[in-house]
Amino acid sequence: MSDERNVKIICKWTVPVAVNLYKIRDAKGEAGDFFRAVQKQRQQYQGFWIVSPEGKLIAAQGNFKNEKTWPQEVLDILEAALKEEVAKAPRHYDWKPANPFHGHGVQEDGSVNVAVFVRFVFGGKPSGPGAFDSVTLSAKEWGKFAPTQRETAERATGRDETFKVGQKWDLPDDIAKRLCKCLSPKSDKTNVPRPEELTEVEMHGVVQAIDGDIATLAYHGKLAAVHQHPFDKKPKTSRSQAKFSGFAKLNLKTNEMLTLNLAFDGTYHAFPPYHEREYTTFAGVEWTRDKESRVSVKSSR
């Protein structure tokens, strides 16, 4: 789907819709009925369907031959299915991010959506598309990334003087477990361990430096998981683990987090029969308060 030629056709000559299979197949009303009628015409688990405005199937793809030929396979389907459409004038559309908070900003309820990416690593370099994901942390969970959580009224009064360089704290396991998505480099959700499948969880924080009103908070930790395949009733597990470190910048005057960056170095064993090979993985967790600016790290000690 990330092939430029495919993106161009989808944008210019179709109305692109993305939905969650598990929600839409059970949805009541027009949308659910429409999807079920489409699905009846071509049964496939995930993938894409190209349909007329009335819901008549034009083309679909649920499986691909291999990852290398996948973009070309999609292009072949698009070109064949939309031959007449592409002859027409392209549509006009306004682009806006589907999730404007992905890796940026604080939502009205105080929650944040930290961006996550996970890659396979070969010879020290990332390989393949990997996984692109995010984790939404509630305001309360987000507050635990700093060593103290002051009362809201107190926050407005000025700089928190309780911060000291060297001050340490442990993040609750429940919060560290939310980062379980960092353990699987595969994009398919069936490969992602659930929080309750974590066998090892640790996340420690320390106030590493204070420079004016900006504190640098450092983090260390590790996660490990044994994940049962969700659609296999027999025991069929994948294993993964990662150690991570990273930092956040906190404005002590406003008590606002400015940035969070975590780097995970891990290993991954796929489901049987591919479980014996150990793959090296890397995952990143990133968030900035402002979309455009990455807080300068040069002032860090």
Partner 1 sequence: MKRAAFSFFCFALNALFLNAIFLNASLWAGEQAKVNPESITARLDAMRQSGALIKWQEVPWILDLKDGIRQSREEKRPLFLWVSGDDPLERC
Site string for partner 1, 202-221 (x = CB under 8 A): --x---x-------x-xxx-
Q: How far is the CB of 159 from partner 1 (least distance, A)?
A: 21
Which one of residues 28, 40, 43, 52 is an interface residue with partner 1 (CB under 8 A)? 52
- Please report which helix (H) or strand (E) contains residue 31, including its range: helix 30-41
Residue closer to partner 1 (CB basis): 155 or 189: 189
**Residue tagged 């929080």 (tokens):** 195
Which one of residues 87, 98, 109, 153 is an interface residue with partner 1 (CB under 8 A)? 98
Could you say whether residue 13 binds partner 1 (CB under 8 A)? yes
Residue closer to partner 1 (CB basis): 2 or 162: 2
Q: How far is the CB of 151 from partner 1 (least distance, A)?
A: 29
Could you say whether residue 243 binds partner 1 (CB under 8 A)? yes
Piece of 141-149, 152-160, 195-203, 259-267 that binds partner 1 (CB under 8 A): 259-267
Could you say whether residue 181 binds partner 1 (CB under 8 A)? yes
Measured CA to CA in angstroms, residue 225 lies from 42, 100, 212, 241, 264 at distances of 36, 31, 40, 6, 14
Which one of residues 112, 114, 119, 171 is an interface residue with partner 1 (CB under 8 A)? 119
Residue closer to partner 1 (CB basis): 191 or 255: 191
Roughly what angle, to the nearest 10 degrees, separates helices 4-13 and 70-81? 30
Which one of residues 26, 31, 79, 148 is an interface residue with partner 1 (CB under 8 A)? 31
Rounded CA separation 21/190 (Å)? 13
DSSP letter for 28, please. -
Could you say whether residue 105 binds partner 1 (CB under 8 A)? no
Which one of residues 228, 267, 280, 300 is an interface residue with partner 1 (CB under 8 A)? 300
Residue closer to partner 1 (CB basis): 88 or 140: 88
Fill in the amino acid letter for 286.
E
CB contact at 8 A, 250 and 217: yes
By CB under 8 A, what part of segment 260-289 binds partner 1? 261-263, 282, 284, 286
Rounded CA separation 108/139 (Å)? 10
Residue closer to partner 1 (CB basis): 206 or 226: 206
Rounded CA separation 172/157 (Å)? 27
Piece of 94-102, 104-112, 140-148, 150-158 that binds partner 1 (CB under 8 A): 94-102
Could you say whether residue 134 binds partner 1 (CB under 8 A)? yes
Measured CA to CA in angstroms, residue 118 lies from 67, 85, 279 at distances of 17, 37, 12
Rounded CA separation 281/120 (Å)? 5
Torsion of CA 57, 60, 62, 67, to 10 degrees: -170
Q: How far is the CB of 125 from partner 1 (least distance, A)?
A: 8
- Please report which helix (H) or strand (E) contains residue 214, including its range: strand 214-228
Rounded CA separation 98/192 (Å)? 22
